[in-house]
Amino acid sequence: MDRDAVYNLAKQLMERSCAQPGRERGYILHHGLRVAREAIDLNRCLKLRADEDLLWAAGLFHDSGKGLEPHWISSKALVLEHLAPLADSEEALDRIAYLVRYHAKRSDPALLTTELKLLQDADILDHRGCMQIWLAVGGAVSDGRDPEQIAAEWDGQQRRQRRAQFRDMLHFDESKRRFDERLARETAFYNAVKAEISGQ
């Protein structure tokens, strides 16, 4: 598969998109690229020998239909409509479409393949660390909320539970290690915000 061509296609389709309010123009492309790279990096780190062409294409396109929900269905439709000329075979196209269709379905072990596990973990990881801070601060500024509010929200019971749930959904110990590393960056950031607000 010509990965540059797949990326260029993703760019054409998504770089001007503003499908998610409060996020930067092209967020779906930027997120997709990070997820594709993270999934490939995890694959190499864990020596899983997953098909990296599939991870690249599915990573880039997994949220392409965001804004038209359920987005796993609309994203799959976009894959089938646009990626056919770039896929190595009909089977490869079907496997990309499968990953995109089930990227958010973590509750059914029968659906899981090595590629799907990597994609799902990479997707969770991209919402942690600097990217969590980026989205939280960007969203707060556009809604008129202040730093104290985002720090308090981040620290709240609901968010803590949600973070624990997402951590539990990760398939690999290495993903959990990366999650914890990113969470430590968030903790340092929000602690610093709280300290500065209180005059320390």
By rule CB under 5 A, what count of residues binds Fe ion?
2
* Cα–Cα distance, 65 to 49 (Å, whole number): 28
* Cα–Cα distance, 31 to 128 (Å, whole number): 12
Q: Is 121 in the site for Fe ion (CB under 5 A)?
A: no
| Nearer to Fe ion among residue 72 and residue 154 (C-beta) | 72
Cα-Cα-Cα-Cα torsion 99, 105, 106, 110, nearest 10 degrees, comes to -70
| Nearer to Fe ion among residue 50 and residue 125 (C-beta) | 125
* Cα–Cα distance, 184 to 176 (Å, whole number): 12
| Nearer to Fe ion among residue 63 and residue 193 (C-beta) | 63
Q: Is 38 in the site for Fe ion (CB under 5 A)?
A: no
CB 151 to Fe ion: min, Å: 25
Q: Contacts with Fe ion in 58-87 (CB under 5 A)?
A: 63
**Residue 127, C-beta contacts closer than 8 angstroms, at least 6 positions apart:** 135, 166
Span from 37-45, 117-125, 151-159, 173-181 in contact with Fe ion (CB under 5 A): 117-125
CB 158 to Fe ion: min, Å: 21
| Direct distance between the N- and C-terminal alpha carbons of the chain, in angstroms, rounded to an integer | 54
CB 139 to Fe ion: min, Å: 16
Q: Is 123 in the site for Fe ion (CB under 5 A)?
A: yes
Nearest alpha-carbon partner for 76 in 57, 51, 52, 89: 57
The residues binding Fe ion (CB under 5 A) are 63, 123
